[in-house]
């Protein structure tokens, strides 16, 4: 698996790199779905993977497309590794782990944009600069989108336009992205010409 | 504690609306001082910044924060918008000091430049602020939030025309970490708050490729306290809606489909933003004021030079810009209506009406 190729876009749209081991007193790794492959590659790249695993805590959940590679995570043998039932339940555990984070810890996020964005949001809220967090996209490209009108967030958006799961307006999906909300922006597509809604196209898989 | 406001209208301050029956209009004197933004017959982006120093007497550049005939009605409209949607005013926790900086800047400027309407008496940190047009007489302690009914930014911007954002400076860029945004040209503070300079400008077409934002940021990072700068921006708005927010786009978007040659003159407005930037002394943040002026097409063409020039700008603008500014669908009809006021005569350089 290689990293996902996103088409060139505007400056607020997140970009992703490849996870690389960095020296640290502690390694916090958050992943979903196919992100398990990036985690395995991260340790394969380490000079002393055993020593790194002994200082690692991995939080994992299945991807929005159903991909569940928990076996691969478990087989790595990290000091701590937990499987959560969903992204929201993963984030509860993450919040507790972050309470004990100390200087010199490294953070690695990998998998889908919804997971990476929400984990990054919670980590940044504690004062970690986003540039110190490594991120690698893997797997599904479905989007987490905020309706600019009702403010409701719809998870796992596949089509453009789509129907807001809160207010029911038909929204087109912009590439404009807020790290604070961990969401792309959705805007009513028929605000000017009421009822003229183009067919939904599957843009995100 | 709340902010008790009494909206008082007189021969100067007009009683008018920016929604529903849309009674907003400019007086003949208001038209003469309209900040027409085109200094030539065509338009493309530029950084176009100049020192924000007192300009011609009577013009919108004369004072630090222009107070005009729409002041009281605009403040009433802001209160209406905030009552419906409090998310239009937000300040991240580290921006309170910048809010106090802004409050001081506005109060001192207005008391000095408009003594007939505003006064500020200081006794140490105990300040008495009087705003006569809004009926406010309030004594509070500077830098003590518990003595104000709102945070300092919200308190003073409920009494000041124009939107405001406060930018924190760190990591070599600016971060839009606070704002009062109720008179915006279709951007969402709630979505953009917390973004850096390049991120919140990301949706603007063409300008990134031209290096406009790299140069503008470099310029702004050097902005010094006491040496503010200003520039123009502009767009088009159907009906005198001060509040064209993305949040309420489903309520006002359809108005763009109702234009024709008969209603163009009073429904289509040139919306000009006089933007000014101030370095703040305690927080080192940058205050950005975005003051919107609305001019009806039928008002603007009473100045022959402006009628000719507006026609040429609208007719020839790059379609990507017209689309971004939201008038591509009406551009041809607008140009057709304006062409009646363009006899092809040459226009003089600069934006002043009489030059």
**pLDDT tens digit sequence for A63-108:** 999 999 999 999 999 999 999 999 999 999 999 999 988 888 999 9
**Domain closes at, from A86, A115, A137:** A137
What whole-number distance in Å separates Cα of residue B15 and Cα of residue B74?
9
Residue among A180, A184, A190, A197 with most chain B CBs within 10 A, to mutate: A180
Cβ contact B193:B176 at 8 Å:
yes
Asked if residue A173 is part of any domain, the answer here is yes
Number of domains within chain B: 1
Same domain, A133 and A38: yes
Enumerate residues 178 to 197 of chain A having a beta carbon within 8 A of any beta carbon in chain B. 178-181, 185, 187-188, 191-194
Asked if residue B19 is part of any domain, the answer here is no
Q: Which residue has the tokens 């900086």?
A: B101
A133-148 exposure pattern, b = at least 16 Cβ within 10 A, e = fewer = bbbbbbbbebbbbbbb
Q: What is the pTM of this model?
A: 0.93
Same domain, A50 and A133: yes
List C-alpha distances in Å: B31 to A65, B56, B220, B295: 59, 15, 32, 7
Domain holding A47, by residue range, is: 26-137
CB B316: neighbour CB atoms within 10 A? 11
Asked if residue A165 is part of any domain, the answer here is yes
Asked if residue A57 is part of any domain, the answer here is yes
Residue A131 maps to which CATH number? 3.40.50.80
Asked if residue B248 is part of any domain, the answer here is yes
Residues 6+ apart with CB under 8 A from B48: B231, B232
Same domain, A130 and A162: no
Residue A200 DSSP code: P
Percent of chain A exceeding pLDDT 70 equals 98
Which pLDDT score, from 0 to 100, does residue B337 have?
98
Q: Does A10 touch chain B (CB under 8 A)?
A: yes
CB contact (8 A) between residue A129 and residue B171: yes
Same domain, A38 and A92: yes
Helix ranges, A46-154 (H): 49-53, 70-76, 87-99, 113-124
Between A and B, how many residue pairs show a Cβ–Cβ distance under 8 A?
67
Residues in chain A with pLDDT < 70?
1-2
CB contact (8 A) between residue B253 and residue A187: no
Domain holding B74, by residue range, is: 48-255+273-294
Distance from A146 to chain B by nearest Cα, in Å?
Answer: 9
Same domain, A124 and A104: yes
What whole-number distance in Å separates Cα of residue B332 and Cα of residue B311?
10
CB contact (8 A) between residue A151 and residue B192: no
Distance from A159 to chain B by nearest Cα, in Å?
Answer: 21
CB contact (8 A) between residue B254 and residue A191: yes
Same domain, A30 and A131: yes
Q: Does A11 touch chain B (CB under 8 A)?
A: yes
Cβ contact B190:A151 at 8 Å:
yes
Same domain, A85 and A178: no
Asked if residue B135 is part of any domain, the answer here is yes
Same domain, A67 and A155: no
**Domain closes at, from A89, A109, A137:** A137
Asked if residue B308 is part of any domain, the answer here is no
CB contact (8 A) between residue B192 and residue A174: no
CB contact (8 A) between residue A11 and residue B190: no
- The catalytic residues of B are 231
Closest-CA residue to A162 (of A175, A149, A171):
A171
Asked if residue A171 is part of any domain, the answer here is yes
Asked if residue A50 is part of any domain, the answer here is yes
Which pLDDT score, from 0 to 100, does residue A2 have?
52
What whole-number distance in Å separates Cα of residue B268 and Cα of residue B311?
13
**Domain closes at, from A89, A120, A137:** A137
Q: By CA distance, what is B198's nearest residue in A? A: A11
Asked if residue B64 is part of any domain, the answer here is yes
Among partner residues B194, B248, B257, which is closest to A180 by beta-carbon distance?
B194
Q: What is chain B's pLDDT, residue by residue, as a tens digit (355 residues)? A: 667 899 999 999 999 999 999 999 999 999 999 999 999 998 877 768 899 999 899 999 999 999 999 999 999 999 999 999 999 999 999 999 999 999 999 999 999 999 999 999 999 999 999 999 999 999 999 999 999 999 999 999 999 999 999 999 999 999 999 999 999 998 999 999 999 999 999 888 777 788 888 999 999 999 999 999 999 899 999 999 999 999 999 999 999 999 999 999 999 999 999 999 999 999 999 999 999 999 999 999 999 999 999 999 999 999 988 998 889 999 999 999 999 999 999 999 988 887 6
What whole-number distance in Å separates Cα of residue B27 and Cα of residue B18?
16
Distance from B207 to chain A by nearest Cα, in Å?
Answer: 12
Q: By CA distance, what is A191's nearest residue in B? A: B250
CB contact (8 A) between residue B171 and residue A185: no
What whole-number distance in Å separates Cα of residue A182 and Cα of residue B280?
30
Asked if residue A2 is part of any domain, the answer here is no
What whole-number distance in Å separates Cα of residue B19 and Cα of residue B22?
5
Q: How many CA atoms lie within 13 A of A116 on its CB side?
A: 28
Residue among A164, A178, A195 with most chain B CBs within 10 A, to mutate: A178
Asked if residue B348 is part of any domain, the answer here is no
Output the DSSP codes for B165-194: EEEEEETTEEEEEEEE-SS-BS--HHHHTT
Interface confidence, given as ipTM, is 0.91
Which pLDDT score, from 0 to 100, does residue A101 have?
85
Q: Does A174 touch chain B (CB under 8 A)?
A: yes
Residue among A149, A161, A182 with most chain B CBs within 10 A, to mutate: A149
Helix ranges, chain A (H): 35-45, 49-53, 70-76, 87-99, 113-124
CB contact (8 A) between residue A191 and residue B253: yes
């Amino acid at each position: 698996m290689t990293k996902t190729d996103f088409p060139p876009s505007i400056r607020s749209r997140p970009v992703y790199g490849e996870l690389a081991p960095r020296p640290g007193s502690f390694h916090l790794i958050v992943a979903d779905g196919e992100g398990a492959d990036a985690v395995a590659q991260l340790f394969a790249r380490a000079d002393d993977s055993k020593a790194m695993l002994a200082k690692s805590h991995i939080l994992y959940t299945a991807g929005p497309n159903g991909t569940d590679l928990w076996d691969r995570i478990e087989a790595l043998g990290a000091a701590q590794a937990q499987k959560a039932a969903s992204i929201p339940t993963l984030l509860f555990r993450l919040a507790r782990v972050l309470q004990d984070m100390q200087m010199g810890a490294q953070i690695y996020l990998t998998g889908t944009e919804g997971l990476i964005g929400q984990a990054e949001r919670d980590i940044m809220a504690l004062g970690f600069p986003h540039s110190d967090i490594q991120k690698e996209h893997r797997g599904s490209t479905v989007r987490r989108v905020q309706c600019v009108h009702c403010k409701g967030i719809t998870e796992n958006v596949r089509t453009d336009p789509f129907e807001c799961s809160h207010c029911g307006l038909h929204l087109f999906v912009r590439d404009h992205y807020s790290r604070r909300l961990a969401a792309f922006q959705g805007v009513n597509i028929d605000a000017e010409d009421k009822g003229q809604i183009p067919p939904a196209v599957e843009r995100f898989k | 504690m709340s902010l008790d406001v009494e909206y008082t209208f007189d021969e100067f301050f007009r009683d008018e609306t920016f929604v529903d029956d849309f009674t907003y209009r400019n007086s003949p004197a208001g038209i003469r001082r309209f900040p027409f933004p085109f200094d030539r017959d065509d338009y493309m982006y530029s950084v176009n910044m100049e020192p924000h120093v007192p300009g011609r007497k009577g013009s919108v550049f004369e004072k630090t924060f222009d107070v005009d005939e729409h002041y009281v009605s605009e403040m009433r409209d802001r209160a209406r918008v905030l009552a419906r949607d409090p998310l239009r005013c937000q300040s991240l926790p580290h921006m309170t000091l910048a809010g106090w900086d802004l409050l001081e800047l506005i109060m001192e400027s207005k008391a000095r430049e408009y003594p007939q309407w505003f006064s500020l008496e200081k006794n140490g940190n105990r300040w008495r602020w009087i705003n006569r047009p809004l009926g406010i007489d309030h004594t509070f302690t500077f830098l003590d939030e518990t003595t104000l009914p709102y945070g300092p930014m919200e308190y003073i911007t409920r009494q000041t025309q124009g939107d405001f954002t406060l930018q924190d400076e760190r990591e070599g860029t600016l971060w839009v970490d606070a704002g009062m945004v109720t008179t915006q040209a279709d951007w969402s503070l709630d979505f953009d708050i917390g973004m850096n300079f390049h991120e919140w400008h990301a949706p603007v077409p063409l300008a990134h490729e031209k290096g406009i934002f790299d140069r503008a940021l470099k310029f702004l990072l050097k902005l010094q306290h006491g040496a503010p700068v200003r520039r123009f921006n502009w767009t088009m708005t159907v009906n005198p809606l001060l509040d064209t927010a993305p949040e309420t786009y489903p309520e006002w978007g359809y108005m763009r489909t109702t234009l024709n040659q008969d209603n163009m003159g009073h429904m289509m407005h040139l919306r000009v933003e006089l933007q000014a930037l101030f370095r703040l002394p305690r927080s080192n943040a940058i205050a950005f004021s975005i003051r919107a002026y609305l001019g009806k097409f039928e008002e603007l063409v009473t100045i022959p030079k402006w009628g000719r020039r507006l026609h040429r700008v609208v007719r020839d603008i790059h379609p990507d810009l017209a689309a971004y500014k939201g008038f591509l669908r009406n551009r041809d009809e607008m140009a057709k209506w304006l062409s009646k006021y363009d006899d092809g005569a040459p226009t003089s350089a600069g934006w002043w009406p009489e030059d």
